[in-house]
Amino acid sequence: MAIETFKWTPDDSATCDSKLRTRKSQFGDGYAQVSGDGLNAEQDSWDVSFGGLNDEVAPIQAFIKSHGGMRSFLWTPPGGVQGLYRCETYRRQAQPGGTVLLTATFERAYHP
């Protein structure tokens, strides 16, 4: 199965949390030995939101659900480089005026 591309642009409030995983051994004299934790030690997590009418937001939600939180997709974060991401959590919220707000967390993946 081919890897699909997430084609929608999030609202301007997209934020990224990054973590660089390390392994650390702390010694009694204050010395610490630190090394990177594997080849893919950087973890990125993007909080994104999509607002609009139900007909505009429904295809985004369907795309996320179709990947089941386990299959990754191609996505280009704001100002970033296209990579593989997964989405395990999302939230749909009804807004005044018949609009919908969909918020999701995209986590960087290193395999499909």
Task: Decide if 88 is inside a domain.
Answer: yes
User: What is the DSSP code (8-state) at residue 70?
Assistant: T
Task: Note whether residue 9 is domain-resident.
Answer: no
With respect to residue 102, please indicate whether it lies within any of the assigned structural domains.
yes
Question: Does 77 map to a domain?
Answer: yes
How confident is the model at residue 75, as a pLDDT?
A: 97
7: in domain: no
Residue 96, domain member (yes or no): yes
Q: Which domain holds residue 75?
A: 15-108
Overall domain count for the chain: 1
Is 85 inside a domain boundary? yes
Question: What does 34-67 look like in DSSP terms, one character per residue?
Answer: EEE-STT-EEEEEEEEEEEEHHHHHHHHHHHHHT
Give residue-wise pLDDT tens across range 39-82. Answer: 777 889 999 999 999 999 999 999 999 999 999 999 999 988 99
